[in-house]
Amino acid sequence: MIDAKFNEMVRKHLNVGHEILYLTREEVKNLNVPTEVLFEQVKKALAMYSTGETLMPAKTNVFPDSSAVYISMPGLIPGMSAAGVKWVGAFNNNMKDYNLPSLCAMIMVNDYLTGWPICVMDGIHIMETRTPAIAMVAAQNLARKDSEVFGMIGLGREGGNHLPIAHLGIPNLKKILVWDVNEAAMDRAIANFQDKVPVPIEKAPSLEYIVRNSDVLASCTFFTNNPPKPPIQDEWVPKGQTIIVTDLHTQFDPAIINRADMYIVDSRAQQEHLVEDGYFYGPIPEPTCELGEILAGKMPARTSDDQIIVVNPSGMVVDDLAVTPVVIEMALEKGVGTKLPL
């Protein structure tokens, strides 16, 4: 089954096979995809992946050196007529050496019916918004119902974007704690987001403090193959905590992961690939299930307030592709972007 309405809309505005739509980062950002639409699209993508309704091989990683990686991420969601590939560069030394962000990404979207490219767009803004959305979808479904404190470790663009939507994942949210090795990043996050958040945002005095005092804890720092020893110690993690890591749990002692009552990933196949490539420090357990299996009702969520649950959504291209039809439709109908000949 395909999305005939989307295919018709594209052909109304675009001469498929002869031109493509190009969207810059600012253009994608300024379309302002509604948060509720973003949540719905990533929930669908996660569930559809885990029920076999998407096609997505594991990421292909190419390492030019130990501090950098190119990542190829192809995928297909027939039910959304979404097909494409995301091409990512993650170069940890960019800011120091070239005054450029460490992460860059482009998404090429193909016409589902003919295979011809219909859009090339910035992939960073979608990634910076869908990643926090996935974290909050996980919190909605796995955090204790009485959770009140959200802790955010790592306050780059993706990390900071968790703050304004934390209340959507944690309905009884009373406070947000933040921590970053760079104190200026904490100050900047508070300045940027406090007026967008219905609860106070406070700097944690230490990494240990934020771990011990958060009901739901998220981390979005860095990832690398052959990672260094993680700083977060096992004894800091309290019973009942929900931990959501979008950085391959580089900050967490493997003992935490191994004693968790549930260890949930977004893709078992991708997890195996990451293990083979050496992204994890020390041994880690087999996943309990995929997040999409819980969203699809195939596996149970939290069954006790004492459970420690670790969610490791490493990021799938179907998460991005699920958002691209919304972006393309909004852009074409508003006349945003540049049409380029093929």
| pLDDT on residue 122 | 97
DSSP E strands, 100-248: 103-110, 117-122, 149-153, 175-179, 201-203, 216-219, 242-245
**Going by C-beta distance under 8 Å and a sequence separation of 6 or more, which residues neighbour residue 98?**
none
Among 54-63, 127-136, 165-174, the minimum mean pLDDT is found in: 54-63
**Percent of all residues in the chain with a pLDDT value above 90, rounded to a whole number:** 88
C-alpha pair distances (Å), 173 with each of 161, 176, 247, 278, 302:
16, 8, 24, 36, 18
Mean pLDDT for the chain overall: 95
| pLDDT on residue 1 | 62
Q: What's the Rg (C-alpha) of the chain?
A: 20
Does the structure show a pLDDT above 90 at 303?
Answer: yes
175-223 pLDDT, tens digit per residue, is 999 999 999 999 999 999 999 999 999 999 999 999 999 999 999 998 7
In angstroms, how far is CA 100 from the centroid of its own chain? 21
243-269 pLDDT, tens digit per residue, is 999 999 999 999 999 999 999 999 999
33-42 pLDDT, tens digit per residue, is 999 999 999 9
Give me the mean pLDDT over the 317-342 stretch.
97
pTM, two decimal places: 0.93
User: Residue 130: what are its φ and ψ, rounded to 5°?
Assistant: -75, -30
The amino acid that residue 308 corresponds to is I
Does the structure show a pLDDT above 90 at 226?
Answer: no
Task: Write down all domains in the chain, each with its CATH number in brackets.
Answer: 4-126+318-337 (3.30.1780.10), 129-316 (3.40.50.720)
> Do 166 and 217 meet the contact criterion of CB atoms below 8 Å apart?
no
**Going by C-beta distance under 8 Å and a sequence separation of 6 or more, which residues neighbour residue 151?**
176, 177, 178, 179, 204, 210, 211, 213, 214, 216, 217, 218
62-100 pLDDT, tens digit per residue, is 989 888 989 999 999 999 999 999 999 989 899 899 999
Strand partners, 122: 106
Alpha helices in 88-179 (DSSP H): 94-98, 124-142, 157-160, 166-169
Does the structure show a pLDDT above 80 at 174?
Answer: yes
Give me the mean pLDDT over the 322-334 stretch.
97
- 102: confidence class by pLDDT, cuts 50, 70, 90: confident
274-287 pLDDT, tens digit per residue, is 898 888 998 999 99
**Going by C-beta distance under 8 Å and a sequence separation of 6 or more, which residues neighbour residue 270?**
58, 59, 314, 316
C-alpha pair distances (Å), 308 with each of 100, 211, 301:
38, 13, 12
